[in-house]
Amino acid sequence: MEENHILIAMVEDRPGVLQRIAGLFRKRNFNIDSITVGHSEKPGISRITLTVTGDLVILEQVMKQLNKIVEVLKVIELYKDNSVLRELALIKIKIENEANRSEIVSYINIFRGRIIDVSNNLITVEITGDSSKVEAFINIVGSDKIKELARTGITAMGRGSSK
């Protein structure tokens, strides 16, 4: 059964590591749904959060192949029910009139978003939350009003003391 899987790869912070990981996915014909990369709490170590869709066989293959890359120190799967998941979206929204502006501002408040830039006919908004919250905001605003959209992809970590 096809499912979304969240993988965390702790890797050495060296040039070309991300390219090798992406190349591995390309060679094996696996698709990366989202990927985020950043420094971890340890100097010289980066944390890559990948989301992939597939069955357990695909998941096992992806994890085995990732572990073969020399710079990959550890790969773990996170489970949604025991993890904190967040995504950030920056959304530039067209404002047609004052009533429309009020409606958009009320949506932003309902979704606990932040207005980060304003012009005469555009508002740029930051929405943070799980992917379903970001999707819901996009749907309620309407794709015809969205001028530009940038999403980070999922960043995740285990809850509590799980690592």
Q: What is the pLDDT of residues 47-59, one digit of tens each?
A: 999 999 888 888 8
As a whole number of angstroms, the distance between CA 52 and CA 27 comes to 15
Intervals of CATH 3.30.70.1150 along the chain: 84-158
Whether the pLDDT of residue 123 is over 60: the answer is yes
- Domain 3-78 part of CATH 3.40.50.920: no
Class of domain 84-158: alpha beta
Q: Count H helices and E strands in the chain, helices first.
A: 4, 9
- State the average pLDDT over residues 72-90: 93
Intervals of CATH 3.30.70.260 along the chain: 3-78
pTM of this prediction exceeds 0.75: yes
What was the pLDDT predicted at 1?
76
| 128's tokens | 């943070």
The Cα diameter of the chain in Å comes to 57
As a whole number of angstroms, the distance between CA 73 and CA 14 comes to 12
160 compared with 85, residue with greater pLDDT: 85
What was the pLDDT predicted at 163?
57
